[in-house]
Amino acid sequence: MREIKTKLYCSEFRYHPSRGSFTSENQRWIETIEKEKVEPFWSYYETYTPERLLRQFMDTTDDKKKWDLIPAEQYHALLKRYMENPIAARTPDSLVSEWIFLICKNLAQVISIEKLYSRTANFPYDVFWKIFGKQPDELKYIEPINWAMGTLHGTGFYEWAVSPWNRPAFNDWGFPKVYKILKEYKEDMDPGDKLVLVNRCIDVVHGRGPMAEYFIEGGAESCNAISNS
């Protein structure tokens, strides 16, 4: 169990509590996700919650969060065969479905991290209080969101919850683009069409850069290598 500490307005806190990552557009997308409940993403969204993420952080001694990623070489080989001859490629349905589910899982985790970096109504106070306790009386003069985010920072959550490339794992508007692609998934889709969905998710770019690093080994560099092969 990690020692709980609170740091407020520290110079080393690169992403100051006053800089929330959620936009009003993102907040509307969260409401859309929770209204539509589109599978398979919805099951992962319900499973990989902020509470699960915080408990994982508190229970581990790892310095950085570990992410499951699509094997780049395997994906490259399969995509190349499919592009050369979609019929002869015989794309394995179970494998590409597994990759779709992995993207759902990692996207759900990105959204949970983003909620824990949000100054909007999306910040999960109930979960935070359950794990870290209520705000001390002697700190009541501090705005609750600043105290909560200062505690997450002081305990090391923001340093732990980074992308596979060691960048802050929150973004401005990348997740809605991936979510819209995942909505097209159908269990009975042709395996080749599922592979195309995987490819489209990996290719999403947003305000802070490519989303690929959350889904495939090597991130955007893998995508560039595939495109240039």
- How many structural domains is the chain composed of? 1
CA 152 to CA 196: how far, in whole Å? 38
Residue 7 in any domain: the answer is no
Q: Which residues, other chains included, contact 144 with Cβ-Cβ below 8 Å and sequence gap of 6+?
A: 125, 135
Return d(Cα 16, Cα 117) in angstroms, integer.
10
Residue 120 in domain: yes
Between 154 and 206, residue with greater pLDDT: 154
Distance CA 84, CA 88 (A): 9
Predicted confidence at residue 117, as pLDDT, reads: 83
Q: What mean pLDDT comes out for the span 31-56?
A: 96
Q: In this prediction, what percent of the chain has a pLDDT beyond 90?
A: 51
Residue 179 lies in a domain: yes
4 lies in some domain: no
Q: Assess whether pLDDT exceeds 80 at residue 206.
A: no
At 224 the pLDDT is: 65
Instruction: Quote the mean pLDDT of the chain.
Output: 85
Q: What is the pLDDT of residues 82-102, one digit of tens each?
A: 988 888 778 899 999 999 999
In the chain, the amino acid numbered 104 is C
Residue 18 maps to a domain: no
Would you say residue 212 has pLDDT above 80?
Answer: yes
Q: Is residue 6 part of a domain?
A: no
Please give the model's pTM, rounded to 2 decimal places: 0.88
Q: Containing domain of residue 166, as a range?
A: 24-228
In a domain, 62, yes or no: yes
Residue of higher predicted confidence among 185 and 227: 185
Identify whether the C-beta of residue 167 lies closer than 8 Å to the C-beta of residue 17. Answer: no
Of 220 and 204, the structure prediction assigns the larger pLDDT to: 204
What pLDDT score does 10 carry? 46
Residue 70 lies in a domain: yes
Residue 172 has pLDDT above 70, yes or no: no
User: What whole-number distance in Å separates Cα of residue 103 and Cα of residue 202?
Assistant: 9
